[in-house]
Amino acid sequence: MRNLLSAVSGGLFGLGLLISGMTDTAKVQGWLDLFGDWDPTLAFVLGGAILPMLLAWRIAARRKVSVTGDAFPIMPQHVIDGRLLAGSALFGAGWALAGFCPGPALASITWGGLGGLTFLLAMIGGMIVSSLAGKRRLAAA
Amino acid sequence: MSLSSIPSDWLFGLAGGLVIGLSAAILLLGNARILGASGILGSVVEGSEPDAATERLWFLGALIGAPAVAVLIFGAPSTNVSGDLPLLALAGVLVGVGTRLANGCTSGHGVCGMSRFSTRSIASTLVYLAVGFAVMFAARHVLGVL
């Protein structure tokens, strides 16, 4: 059941990214180009995606457990630390330079050519580096 | 104002966005999981939480497979991805490191976190948007590399 729900969710997520135009790096970069030929499409995508989730969080608050019987994820501690801010800044820079964030980079990998593959492999490399650095920090502490 | 006077890209954006939100709602209400693309990929790559690896692989397989089938039927739209491979590699590393440090990206923080009014997610989203606007301005209008 968990695997089926995961697959349904992943498949819809990929189709949503494709339909919304977010696998087109020019549209994402057009959104970020505030001072150029600005493209507001991304605001419609984000707004459209938040609507079902507003409802889903309300349902989650009432039901306590998921369909599979698991407790819903607790709200993270309200700590805004340097790690969150620095990570978000690095992500924003890379997002602008390529026009890809992780979801669309994965969704379009079968037709994104060498450029898409280069970005995805570098992103996975960055995740591995980040993980190794985190383990060293833990070991040192 | 008639529907036809709204740019079709905006309508496709809204429709696709609703599908993205539905997919995140299914993962939350179904499996009690946050739909965060960087978190799901990152934990598979790191090998953390091995118990959840199988369902995450199902998610990633469908995330790649479903649009792959759709483009086989309807044709592939261009990703318009840059031909500058070193630039893409740099961008990929920044996104990989940044999303793991921040524990989320556009889907995890932007969609799932903001919709529950998480202050961390709202802060993260404001920062990556602001830096994205600034880097885009610098790269396109000052340095001319994009």
- Put simply, the answer to whether B107 touches A13 (Cβ < 8 Å) is yes
A64: left (phi over 0), alpha (psi -120 to 50) or beta: left
* pLDDT value, residue A1: 92
Residue B1, pLDDT > 60, answer no
* pLDDT value, residue A28: 98
Q: Residue A6 to residues A15, A99, B30, B62, B87: CA-CA distances in angstroms?
A: 14, 26, 8, 8, 33
- The CA-based diameter of chain A, rounded to the nearest angstrom, is 49
- Which of A3, A28, A53, A83 is the best residue to mutate to test the B interface, defined by the most B CB atoms within 10 Å of its own CB? A53
Residue A123, pLDDT > 80, answer yes
Paired residues of A65 in beta bridges: A71
- State how far Cα A43 lies from the chain centre: 15
Put simply, the chain B residues between 11 and 50 with a CB less than 8 A from any chain A CB are 11-35, 37-38, 41-42, 45-46, 48
Please indicate if any CB of chain B lies within 8 Å of the CB of A138. Answer: no
Of residues B20, B77, B124, nearest to A16 (C-beta) = B20
pTM across the whole model: 0.95
Residue A79, pLDDT > 70, answer yes
Give the separation between CA A91 and CA B123, rounded to whole angstroms. 13
Is the distance from CB of B102 to CB of A138 less than 8 angstroms? Answer: no
